[in-house]
Structure 1
Amino acid sequence: MARVRYGARTEAEIAAARTARSRLPDIWSTGVAALWETDPEAVAAVLPPPLKPTGSPLVRVNVSRVDMPGYPLGAGSFAVAAAHDGVEGWYPLVMPMTHERALTGGREVFGEPKKLGEVTLERDGDLVRAVLSRHGIAFVEVRGAVSGELPAPEPAPKTDFYVKFLPAVDGCGFDAEPVLVHCVRHERVRRLQRVTGEVVLRESPYDPVVDLPVRRLLGITLGEKTGDQRGRVVERVDPRALLPYVHQRYDDPLHVHDGPPEGSL
């Protein structure tokens, strides 16, 4: 009988897959990053316990084209500055991805808030345009012109905070105790350019990022980078304290009855 591929794998096959994952080549991406100050109370409102605001109410958006083997990947992130147990980092609210295979590992292993979406990064001469879209709504757009070279920063670790949880089968609460994950990324940048431009946030009932408006734009860059990441569970999270924030991970099913707001595209 031919091999049934959905059948159990052998110990050797499992070990080979584990070894292959540990020897991934450098994967480079080209991306636009925008950083701004927003309303402190807005940042505090979106952080689930035990995360807390930092001394600066910062928002960071990344829109990248990743040179994945086989086909390119569009990857985005909209995150706010956060702190936990003396560590400062970023808490992503939404991470649009253009392919399902980019969702699975991040969501199921680390607890990343990844969702399928459209991620666009275009450059025409010095003009740059980067867009995050879902459900036909371009809820983030970064646009401008390259205005100079910047020194590439030294490699440095960056921490993202994720809350990993499993919704209950009966729809009430969780099937297992949620955990807080520290995901540490070590990035290397080979080129960095300054972009002079603006960030446009548009209303979306699915991705309401307009609630964290641009009060003071601190900078936009266009860069090429690679890196790796390692995650670890740092503590258990109180399910009752987390429950009011679970909607961040999912689209409200009632929104299927809504149309996109006028002028959103």
Structure 2
Amino acid sequence: MSKLRFVQGASGVRTAGQLQNTVRSIRGTYETDAEVVRALLPQPLVAVEKPEIFFQFAHVAMHYSAERTVEIGALTLGVNCTFEGQKGAYCFHMSMEGESVVTSGRERFGEPKKIAATTFEKNGDHIRATVTRHGITFFEIEGNIGADNSNPKQFEEHLFCYKGLPSITTPGEFDGDVFLTRLDWKRNYTTRRDFDGKITLRESAYDPLVDVPVRRIIGLEYVEGATQTGGTLMRTVPGEWIAPHWVGRNDEPTNTGLDLSAPAEKAA
């Protein structure tokens, strides 16, 4: 009997339910420059009072089924913000291992994912994690796990993304609607401990995280447990709101970037 696996068969169809993950993560918030946040945050998202960046590096085991588990390393960064009073973070960078998890997240949720090589080395209470693309280790965090902290172990948090199809004919425009989406991450941590560490960002024309500098670490923690991931379609947005930010999803080493020293009316 012949078969064609470019067409979905009756078995193996995934439902719209949430994916179950097991995670070990270093999470934190750091303060950056206010002018960076003003330029980085697209409409209709609203900045919080302080220029704060949320980040996490996670070692994730994704349980697609009883027979299939995929393990990856994943780096996520976002600008803390609100949308219609809902707290969250605008996700401007995601790097992770595995083509399937990158393409599915970009196409389904609008996540700005890129394929990367990662390491997660845990030796007792010491951890070192790195992210590398194009031979450049542009993100590194290293430090030591500390005492249990008193933060809640069960909670939900959100990141905002933009989902659209770049125009076939006109660069900087989109074919069809552009959507603001919300990632819904339900955390069920069994371990939540303080972390004393250092973040190192290195120059990369492909992943210029150095342009969002670490001025002051506000807090770091190490967590273990489970995560349920899902998403919500929030609203359509004009394409021009997100078009200048779309470059961060691609490898554009010739992009000179926005001149933050220019007057506001010229930099907009």
- TM-score normalised according to structure 1 size: 0.86
Matched, 1:17 2:13: yes
Deviation of the 1:111 alpha carbon: 0.1
Give the aligned residue type for 1:184: D
Give the aligned residue type for 2:237: V
Matched, 1:234 2:239: no
Unaligned runs of 5+ in 1: 256-265
Give the aligned residue type for 2:156: P
Match of 2:216 in 1: 216
Matched, 1:34 2:28: yes
- Which residues in structure 2 correspond to 1:183-222 (within 5 Å)? 183-222=183-222
CA contact (8 A) 1:156 1:186 kept: yes
Deviation of the 1:51 alpha carbon: 1.5
Higher strand fraction: Structure 1 or Structure 2? 2
Q: Distance in 2 between matches of 1:167 and 1:156?
A: 35
Q: Could you report, residue by residue, the CA deviation over 1:124-168 in whole angstroms, capped at 9, with x for unpaired residues? A: 222211112211112111111122222462421211100001111
Give the aligned residue type for 2:114: K
Question: The residue matched to 1:252 in structure 2 has which SS?
Answer: coil
Question: The residue matched to 1:174 in structure 2 has which SS?
Answer: coil
- Which residues in structure 2 correspond to 1:112-123 (within 5 Å)? 112-123=111-122
Higher helix fraction: Structure 1 or Structure 2? 1
Q: Using the TM superposition, name which of 46-55 and 69-78 deviates more.
A: 69-78
Deviation of the 1:110 alpha carbon: 0.5
CA contact (8 A) 1:152 1:191 kept: no
Give the aligned residue type for 1:176: G
Q: Distance in 2 between matches of 1:224 and 1:135?
A: 30
- Taking only aligned residues, the RMSD between alpha carbons, in angstroms, comes to 2.0
CA contact (8 A) 1:152 1:190 kept: no
- Which residues in structure 2 correspond to 1:104-253 (within 5 Å)? 104-151=103-150, 153-172=152-171, 173-252=173-252
Identical amino acids, percent of aligned pairs: 32
- TM-score normalised according to structure 2 size: 0.85
Question: The residue matched to 1:199 in structure 2 has which SS?
Answer: strand
Give the aligned residue type for 2:187: E
Q: Could you report, residue by residue, the CA deviation over 1:156-183 in whole angstroms, capped at 9, with x for unpaired residues? A: 1211100001111124211112110122
Q: Distance in 2 between matches of 1:198 and 1:253?
A: 27
CA contact (8 A) 1:33 1:220 kept: yes
Give the aligned residue type for 2:227: G
